[in-house]
Amino acid sequence: MAIKWTIQGLLIYAGLAAYFIAFIATLLRRRKIGTVTYFLGFLVGCAAIAYRWIHVSHIPMQNLFEVFLVLGALVYPISIFCNRILRIGGVAGDMLLV
């Protein structure tokens, strides 16, 4: 698999890296760093969606790549909703997202 050296590809890689760093930081009990990097990954994901939307001139929901891009960006607000409003966290929150 080749690295996609486009703006959108780099945005997606940056978002994935931010999510991975947030996961590692949370495992190392650095919750604040994990939360900030998780939010940063969400913002980068939103930027990738906006770039794709502008680039193809239609809502990015026409193929499976675009659908997964949008669903990946929606993980953050859904997890915040589960944790703060529904008071569901941990394994139950992950199962609800899946």
Would 20 be classed as within a structural domain?
yes
**Of 45, 47, 54, residue with least CA distance to 77:** 45
Residue 33, pLDDT above cutoff 60:
yes
Q: Indicate the residue type of 37.
A: T
Residue 96, pLDDT above cutoff 60:
no
Q: How far is CA 72 from CA 8, 28, 29, in A?
A: 14, 24, 24
Q: What number of other Cβ atoms are within 10 A of residue 71's Cβ?
A: 12
User: What is the mean pLDDT of the segment spanning 31-52?
Assistant: 87
Would 12 be classed as within a structural domain?
yes
pLDDT, tens only, 7-18: 888 888 898 898
Would 2 be classed as within a structural domain?
no
pLDDT of residue 91: 52
- Taking a C-beta distance cutoff of 8 angstroms, is the pair 13, 2 a contact? no
Q: Into how many domains does the chain fold? A: 1
Residue 72 is part of which domain span? 7-97
Would 48 be classed as within a structural domain?
yes
Would 67 be classed as within a structural domain?
yes
Would 1 be classed as within a structural domain?
no
pLDDT of residue 84: 80
